[in-house]
Amino acid sequence: MTEYFVYDVFTDTPFGGNQLAVIPDATALKEADLQRIAAEFNFSEVTFVYPPKDKVHTARVRIFDPANELPFAGHPTIGTAIALSDLGADDDMVLELGVGPIPCKVTKGMPATAEFTTTVPLEKLNIIDVALIADCLSLPKAAIKTQNHPPQRASVGLPFVLIELNDLGILAQATPATEAFKRAEQQYPSKVDLFATFAYVRTPSGIQARMFAPLSNIPEDPATGSASAALGAYLTALSGQAQTLEIAQGVEMGRPSQISVSTTVEDGKTNSVTVRGSAVKTMQGVLTI
């Protein structure tokens, strides 16, 4: 039997944040069962931990959402780092992900906090038609704010469509329309993200956001570190200045999350993105397969 742990990530309170199942030793599991296990948990992501390919690193981590294997994701990286620290790993660690080695640092406490830094270059991908993205979110075109940037797919390891909305009331009204998402994926095809969208509003205290990925069986995600990292890198590229962002997410779902993002700049370009957050363990058990 294989042990697993469930953490709530990007929160200091049980039953907030984003759920993550961590299998700290996946070596006995069959390859064909990994996606099935992720679908069975039906969390936004599940991580499977293996010995590292490079012995100087801490572990190799594979990340699955309910429909796909992902090369990178934020809350799985934070949650897995804290889980491995709880199990005795060094608090300074390097996790091997699909995008390459990612350094992580855990600060013990109640709750524990972790951060990771990625230097994966920002990719600016498709600029998305405003009417189409409005349809995806069941909003009028006027709700999409384009003064600062158009709706655009961007990535630092996992792509998201980044959309600025006019105000918090509009953000609360956003509702994913699956048929529109299907049209969007046909128009802007991708192999992994399946038109995942990250809609946000600037607030006096920072940013409030929501993430929708219905084509990956994630109607809404309560905390998305990879999207937050992409947004931080993207805003850095737009301004040419380092960013420090406090991103609230999951508010409308009743699972409030807090994600801290900071960036560095070199020669006017994003040099690194650091994502920070807390996690609390809520459950543990065994897989009986």
Q: What is the pLDDT along the chain (289 residues), one digit of tens a residue?
A: 899 999 999 999 999 999 999 999 999 999 999 999 999 999 999 999 999 999 999 999 999 999 999 999 999 999 999 999 999 999 999 999 999 999 999 999 999 999 999 999 999 999 999 999 999 999 999 999 999 999 999 999 999 999 999 999 999 999 999 999 999 999 999 878 899 999 999 999 899 999 999 999 999 999 999 999 999 999 999 999 999 999 999 999 999 999 999 999 988 788 999 999 999 999 999 999 8
Tokens of 214: 């219905």
Provide the CATH topology of domain 123-277: Diaminopimelate Epimerase; Chain A, domain 1 (3.10.310)
Q: Is the pTM of this model over 0.85?
A: yes
Class level of CATH domain 2-114+278-287: alpha beta
Please identify every residue annotated as catalytic. 45
Domains 2-114+278-287 and 123-277 share a fold: yes
The residue ranges of every structural domain in the chain are: 2-114+278-287, 123-277
